[in-house]
Amino acid sequence: TLKNLHSGSILLPGMSPLAQKYAGHRHGVFNDRIGDARSLLLGEVATPLGRMEMYLKGGGRTPYALRGDGYLGLRSAVKEYLVSHALYGIGIPTSLPLSICNHKRKIFRDQLEKSATVIRLSPSHARVGHFEWLATRGNAAAMKALIAHLGGCYGEGGEMSVEQFFKHSVQRAAHLAAAWQVWGFVAGTLNTDDISALGVTLDPGAGAFLESCQALLTEDCDAVDSVYAFSSQSESIRFGLEVLGRALRLLLHEEKINAILESFYDQRKKAMLCGMRSRLGLMMSREEDSVLINQWLSILHRKGADYNSSFRYLMEWKNDESSDHHLADKLGLERNDRVLAEWLNAYRKRLENECFTYHERYRFMAGVNPITILREADICDVSAAVEAGDFIPLAR
């Protein structure tokens, strides 16, 4: 029965699937003819993480499929599964695939491939685009009902005010944008219908983790002028919040909306500093930390160093000349690189403010920075195995 449910063949008693309607700004242009093109909301389920919406993705055309067939390629399903679980493993809020079911049906994307369905969970799949759609219809009552529902997803007891809701949305969005930056995650397309009202990564399969430090990397082949590039993600999220704020004018004064919006960049900066301090093995907060962090990122960018591995290289640094040389080698720099030497001197002084021994710092950084991060080569290898009928690499 579960297999048939996950394949989209049957429904459980009480399920009444629906495709959700919303609007969105796509590449900055408003579009009110969109909705769930290949996904269906099956209902809510109780999980150890709380109540979750259960979505079936890839089951075929919906009323909003437009010219699409509504199906999902097996390779895309595998990528979404792997990226989602990688994000979840490092603590970034994300929708979470529960299962992948491959089908005999063949579909054509850039090549002929098997299709698949994915069951994924999220506290809510509510998007900025839902509010845009309701605002265009002037439907204040439905917007209030949606906010009341999302209040439960936020864990708020009782009724949540519109002002509280927007504050929560801005805070969570700021923390999500910061986490993507800290971990080098490129979310891909960030149209307003891709941006969660709950601060969740809604479509992880569109993204990837940075490998080399190319600040303008984008995973979306259709992106125009790097609008969705790594360095532009916070601006895209901020724009989404502006659009959400405009929609909420049905219920909240513009002055309050603008005041809440003003806090976005400050909240994102604080969250990013906190995350980067941890990755650098720093527990205490100092005013000069932002300079130290920016200089470190500049060093990594200069030679296109491996972003996430570089923190592991720094973790192994032992505050001696031999370690200086070893780190320079790992980062692809000359051993007498002046900029790196100056940065390491500043890092040494900064560590004097901490209460760490080398081994304690090592253990702390090892607990924060994973041994490996999901790479495109890993995704290709697992996809090839799954296409050949071997699901063991996916289960690992």
Which residue do the tokens 């109540």 mark? 51
- Catalytic site residue from 32, 69, 110, 193: 193
Buried b (16+ CB within 10 A) or exposed e, 192-208: bbbbbbbbbbbbbbbbb
| Active-site annotation holds for 36 | no
Half-sphere exposure of 361 (CA within 13 A, CB side): 26
In 3-state terms the chain splits into helix, strand, coil percentages (rounded to 5) of: 50, 15, 35
The number of residues making up the chain comes to 396
Does residue 299 come out as left (phi exceeding 0), alpha (psi in the -120 to 50 range) or beta?
Answer: alpha
Please report the sign of the dihedral spanned by the C-alpha atoms of residue 63, residue 201, residue 6, residue 378: positive
44 close to 53: Cβ distance less than 8 angstroms: yes
DSSP H/E element including 38: none
Does residue 307 come out as left (phi exceeding 0), alpha (psi in the -120 to 50 range) or beta?
Answer: alpha
Strands 112-122 and 185-186: unpaired
Q: How far is CA 11 from CA 1, 23, 47, 53, 255, in A?
A: 9, 28, 19, 15, 47
DSSP H/E element including 267: helix 264-279
383 close to 393: Cβ distance less than 8 angstroms: no
Q: Which residues are catalytic?
A: 193
